[in-house]
Amino acid sequence: MPSESPRTAKPTTLFVSDLHLDASRPQATAAFLAFLAGEASQADALYILGDLFEAWVGDDDTSEPGASVASALARLSASGVAVHFMRGNRDFLLGEAYAGRCGMRLLADPCVVRLQGEPVLLTHGDLLCTDDLAYQDFRRQVHDPAWQRQFLAQPLAARHAFAAKAREASRAHHATVVSAGQAEEITDVSPDTVEATFVRFGVQRMIHGHTHRPAVHELHAGGRGRTRVVLGDWYDQGSVLRVGAGGWSLDRLAIGAS
């Protein structure tokens, strides 16, 4: 009898987020492309839960690393691996045109999917950081459809300039909360919001990124035990969650020097 393919024999679903790919960090892009050509090619599905790119100013931007990533994701999708993408706070403008080039399906944030027969909540994670009032105000502004239409109508150079200013403002905001000793409570998730989200969706497990604090948290919410899995970023090292018949595993990936 012929042996089963790895994808048939050991079905695995992979989750990543917060890669923050940018031309200034070619080592991270190289690591992700190697991941797509290697482990991801043997998976059943790949979920990217936001912030694939450091900034995304519109699907009409064909510069790197977006172009090479689109080609690699398209090859992965064409090989039979289901690719899913959820927008993050850095690439909330990524749209259907780019998703089509990649062969990936766009997901609402939040959404519930079934993993190993169990409903699991997926979210980028910024919606859980409700104690950061300044950020939540900014998020509401840039997710307004009218704001997005006006922004995307601007020349590409103007959009890149805005993105650069937004990144600088984000760094300044983070420095302010750190100096005030509020980094843990302001930039991390709100426990009350996490509990309310679990109860609202009625799930036992949640997966998210955004906070760059990779961990598996066991907690009680609504009188039930729950599990919150936080994906890590791809700065000094990569982060991947593997879900299969053998269980769940949150692991680190090496990223080589540039």
Residue ranges of the binding site for Mn(2+): 18, 20, 51, 89, 124, 210, 212
Structure tokens at 1: 């009898």
Cα(219)–Cα(224) distance, integer angstroms: 8
Annotated binding site, which residues?
18, 20, 51, 89-90, 124, 132, 170, 210, 212
Count Cα neighbours of 22 within 13 Å in the Cβ-side half-sphere: 17
| CA–CA dist 206, 26 (Å, integer) | 31
- For the purposes of burial, counting CB atoms within 10 Å of the CB of 51, is it exposed (0-12), middle (13-18) or buried (19 or more)? buried
Whether the bond between 65 and the residue before it is cis, its omega within 30 degrees of 0, is yes
Q: Report how far apart, in Å, the C-alpha atoms of 238 and of each of 18, 27, 82, 114, 256 are.
A: 9, 11, 21, 25, 10
Positions at the binding site for substrate? 89-90, 132, 170, 210
Q: Is 14 exposed, middle or buried (0-12, 13-18, 19+ CB in 10 A)?
A: buried
| Stretch (H or E) spanning 100 | helix 96-102
CA 160/CA 165 separation, integer angstroms: 9
Tokens of 203: 């799930």
Amino acid 38 reads G
Determine the residue type at 132: D
